[in-house]
Each structure stands twice: as C-alpha cells, then as structure tokens.
Amino acid sequence: MRPFVQRRFAGLILLIAALVALVFGHAQLAPSLRHMAALTGWALLAVCLFLTAYNARKKLPFLPLGNSRTWLQLHAYVGYFSVGLFMVHTGWRWPSGWFEGILAVLYTAVALSGVLGLFWSRVVPRRLTACGDEVVFERIPIVRRQLAERAEQLALDSVVSTQSAAIADFYNLHLAGYFVDPGSLWQHWVGTHRTARRLLDKLEDLQRFLNADQKKVLDELVLLVRRKDSIDEQHALQLSLRLWLFVHIPLTYSLLVFTAFHIVLVFGFSAGVGTK
C-alpha cells in the first residue's frame, strides 16, 4: 500500500473510531450528566480554537511548532470530527432561535468551505500541471500583456508582409478583445475552454481563404490563442485556490466572534438555573 493511501486509511479509521466513541459516549452519559450541552459546547470551542490555530502556525514559520503538513492533516480530520461534535451539541436538529441559526449557518459554511477547499486543492494542482508553461501568479498579467502585444504586432505586420488586410480585420473583429480580456473564470473552473475553442474554429475556417504567407501568420496566431487560453486557465485556477481561503478564514473568525457572544448569552440566560 502506498504511504499516502496508508495515511489516509489510518486517518479514516481513527476518525470513525472517534466519532463512534463520541456518539456512544454521549448517548451513555447524556441521561446522567446535567451539563452535557455545556461540556460538548466547550469541547467544540476547544476544537474550533485548535482548527483556527493552524492559521497562526502558518504566520509564524520560524517557531518550532511542527510541520505544516502534519497540521493540515490534523486540521482536516479534527475538522471532520468537529462536525460530529456539532451535531451532538445541537442535539441532531437545526437550532430554532435566530442567533443560534446564524451560528449554525456560519459553522456549516466554514465546514463546507473547508471540505470543498481541501477537495479543490487536491484537484487543481494536477490541472495546473497539465496546462504546462508554469507561470507564477503575479507574473500572469505581464505574460498576458506580452501575448496581446505580440498578437497585435503580427496582425499589423501581416498587412504589409502579405499585402492583405484579411488577418488584421479578423484580429480586430475576433481576437483583439480576446487577448485583452482576462477570460471567463467559470469556463476555466469547469474546464470547457469554450471561448478559445470557438476562436480556434474560426481561425481554422479562415485558413481556407489564405495563401501560404498568410497561413504562416495564422499558425502563429493559433499558437498565441492556445497560450492565452492556457494562461487564463492558470489564472482562474490559481485565483480559485487563493479565493477559497478568503472565504474560509473570514468565516472562521466570524464564527469565533459569534461563538463568544453565544457563550455570553448562554451564561447570561442560564444564571440561576440548577442552583435551586
């Protein structure tokens, strides 16, 4: 068995064991423990704080706080476990009050964004590698501009070199906007490449009207369209990997703030309960 599969297998077994222990333990202890909700609540808070601590670990790489990969593994499995803890804490039902409702929505959003982010960060790297021509995210606008300038130059030069405006007209009509536009994020996230495909079809169709010199120019334009499509795809995918954290992390901090209010409210409204 490959080490990664082994690790995943071991993690899943442990997670299932922990969840089973949680559910059974809760079922056994709930009738006899008066403050079970408080106990699971504090446990959930501790788990949430631990999950949030991963972000702090990332910010302090020079402190000997362990490897990020171990933290991520723990983050993922403890995160899954927290779902079980949340269900137990809420009594397997959606909260009825508006404040608790918001809290539950926030928790669900954080958990879902985490799971989706993990899935996305496992899928996207392979797609990025398949793009080829690896470009660092910050350099993408520069490469895009270079491609646009090259395409424009080719179209302009073709008027003189081929004694025809066919390619320049085509460029003005179909390509100029394409090279300037950053492209549809959605298309690249789902991987349809529709815009580029249509342009390539149009370029192929144009080819039958051109002579040998014009075809040479067209061939280079085809390459530029393909390269632009690849750059757009890299941009969309790399952006998505950054964007999901901009969802997950603010939601996490919002959740912590609401949790703090939740604790205050719980203690406020429980004053005197059980003291009589």
Partner 1 sequence: MDDTILKGERPGRWDSPLDPGFVEADLDRLLGIAPFREMNPESFPRRQPLRAILQNDCRIRRFQRGELIVRAGDFGSSAFMILGGSVRVVLPPGLPDEVLGRRAPGRKSLFKIVAQLWNNHRHPEVRTPEELGSKTGNLVGEGAEARVFLQDVPRLIEQNKTVTVGAGEFFGEIAALSRMPRTATILADTDDTELLEIRWQGLRDLLKYDPTLRAHIDALYRKNTLSNALRSFPLFQHLNEEQLQRVAAQTQFGTFGDYDWSGDYKKLAQSGSNAPERETPIAQEGDYPDGVVFVRSGFARLTKRFANGQRTLNYLGAGRSFGLREIAHNWRHPDRTVPFQASLRVIGYTHTLFVPTHVMEEIVLPGAPASALPEPMPANVETAEEVDPLHEQGGFAERIGPELMEFLTSRRFFNGTATMVINLDRCTRCDDCVRACASTHDNNPRFLRHGPISSGIQVAQACMHCVDPVCMIGCPTGAIHRDASGGNVVINQSTCIGCTSCANNCPYEAIRMVEARNERGGFVIDAEMRPIVKATKCDLCLDQYGGPACERACPHDALTRMDLTHLDRLAQWLER
**34 or 58: CB nearest partner 1:** 58
Binding region for partner 1 (CB under 8 A) out of 68-76, 145-153, 155-163, 220-228: 68-76
What SS3 string covers 185-254? HHHHHHCCCHHHHHHHHHHHHHHCCCCHHHHHHHHHHHHHHHHHHHHHHHHHHHHHHHHHHHHHHHHHHH
Q: How far is CA 176 from CA 43, 48, 155, 205, in A?
A: 58, 50, 10, 18
Contacts of 143 (CB under 8 A, 6+ apart): 135, 231
Measure the CA–CA gap between 253 and 106, rounded to whole angstroms. 10
What is the CA angle 27-105-116, rounded to 5? 95
- The site map against partner 1 for 2-31 (x = CB under 8 A) is xxx---------------------------
Binding region for partner 1 (CB under 8 A) out of 36-44, 127-135, 161-169, 201-209: 127-135
**81 or 120: CB nearest partner 1:** 120
- Residues between 96 and 125 that touch partner 1 (CB under 8 A): 121, 124-125
Contacts of 141 (CB under 8 A, 6+ apart): none
**61 or 272: CB nearest partner 1:** 61
**35 or 139: CB nearest partner 1:** 139
Choice from 30, 78, 87, 128 touching partner 1 (CB under 8 A): 128
Q: Is 238 in the site for partner 1 (CB under 8 A)?
A: yes
**139 or 194: CB nearest partner 1:** 139
Binding site for partner 1 (CB under 8 A): 2-4, 58, 60-64, 66-69, 71-72, 121, 124-126, 128-129, 134, 136-137, 238, 241-242
